[in-house]
Homo-oligomer: A and B are copies of this chain.
Amino acid sequence: DGKNLPKPSTAGKYLREVLHMVINKRLVTGMIPPDHVLRFRHPQQLEEELDLSIGESGISKAEVVKTMKHVIDYSVKTCSPFMRNQLYGGADEIGLAASWLTDALNTNQHTYEVAPLFILYERAVVKKVLTLLGWDAGDGITAPGGAMANMYALPLARYKFFPDVKEKGMAHLKSLTIFTSQDSHYFVWKAAHWLGLGTENIVEVKTDKGGRMIPSVLEEEIREAKRKGKRPFLVNATSGTTVLGAMDPLEPISEICQSHDLWLHVDGAWGGSLLMSEKRRHLLKGVEAADSFTWNPYKMLGVPIQCSFFLTRHQGLLLECNAASATYLFQKDKFYDVSYDTGDKSIQCGRKVDAFKFWLMWKAHGDRGFQNLVENIFHCARYIRERMSDREGFRLVNPEGNVEEHCPNICFWYIPSSLRGLEETPDWFSRLHKVAPELKRRMLTKGSLMVSYQPLPHKGLVNFFRLTLTSTPRLTHEHMDFILDEFDALGSDIQIS
């Protein structure tokens, strides 16, 4: 009956093993990184190698430890400087320590009663971010990822304009229309579906060559929608688009929103971290007039996953909009100040403690520490773009783009020897389109590097690479040089028939 349960005498043994492995396998950023970014196996191969079945009886401690080792061996090493595939990298060590601590304390962030300190740390971070945004009042909450954080904006804006939507639903609200750029994140499409707005009520606003929303086109689209009898209500601007890293011009956009009485949401999931740098903050100028904002400190700043914030300038609205006032959780006759029970602002019930690790990192590094991290990224971005401009085989997607004016996404084609110096006909481009998947295959098979690729059909661009820079581990010029050399080593002899 007591079998398979931990004995007091040995309690802690699995935790010790994990610490040991994490250090031994050099998963902590700041250590010499692991040799491989990954050891690729096809899903079917791994399914054969792993014993995924679960039996009647349990397994021994040794087998549990073996499984954890296996997990490390075949997982992607986000702590490697050469894992440049996503908008996030490794976990900062202080952030990771804070995660381990909150995991061990195993509580939810809904009431002060069960999470007294975590509620206060969340409030403190929110307050600090509101200041960075230039808002003198407001409110905020963590959400499980940037897509969810962004989603908060839509019901909030809708509720502000049409408060009876809460009771009556969307049935009598025809054609509420959302404006978002062609280059914005796909969350808008998912959210429009879920929230009952419908994806056909999304207007995609054209972007300039660099991927920035064109304000005059936005204004024209709003007028056009009104002419068609639609009801514009929200503009989703992006500070740091997913692929090109573009920063939408928030100042003219916010003026347009004001003149048409629209809610301005700014998706700063990626580029929000530029707020940490005095030198780059101006790229978000106009955000002080926005209605809501999303930021993922887990991306550029290396806060461990998950860590995303939704913020709004309208104090009190989040609670009013989302409250269900469940009597079993948010009792009003509690003996402490229940305004600290933040759970009813959320669409979640239980909510993981995501803010404390960010608070602790920020406290430990200070404003200046984070600023240095961001500046180092741009230092490397500038360097690798310059190298690419003079190096054969690399072609920047946007060579005239000013690296100081967008996020550290380096977008480029790799042109193997066999395609160099040829006439750039449609056929040539369709062959170039096939280079990235083949190069990626080689990359994963060797496991030395990971960089993502994608086409951009609305700009007529065939598959190109998107290399993104983040703060953990700290990147150097040597890392950048290695990446360039590795592209040559992997790809220069690619032949596309």
Contacts and interface: CB of A to CB of B under 8 A. Distances in A.
Contacts of A117: 46, 50, 70-71, 74-75
A16 B352 CA distance: 23
A43 B112 contact: yes
Contacts of A108: 86, 88, 305
A422 interface: no
Contact of A27 (B38, B44, B105): B105
A135 interface: no
Give the number of times this chain occurs in the complex, counting copies.
Answer: 2
B106 A58 contact: no
Q: Which one of A176, A199, A200, A363 has the greatest number of beta carbons of chain B within 10 Å? A: A363
Contacts of A201: 169
A6 interface: yes
Given A4-B372, A169-B196, A101 B68 contact: yes
Nearest to A29: B6
Contacts of A360: 64, 67-68
Nearest to A362: B54
A176 B170 CA distance: 11
B185 A349 contact: yes
Nearest to A70: B117
Nearest to A200: B167
Interface stretch (A18-26, A205-213, A381-389): A18-26
A304 interface: yes
Interface in A319-365: 321-322, 324, 326-329, 331, 333-337, 340, 347-352, 356, 359-360, 362-365
A489 interface: no
Contact of A304 (B1, B103, B185, B474): B103
Contact of A440 (B47, B335, B349, B456): B335
A103 B100 contact: yes
A116 interface: yes
Given A31-B8, A106-B88, A349-B146, A372 B3 contact: yes
Contacts of A145: 144, 348-352
B85 A452 contact: no
Contacts of A331: 437, 453-454
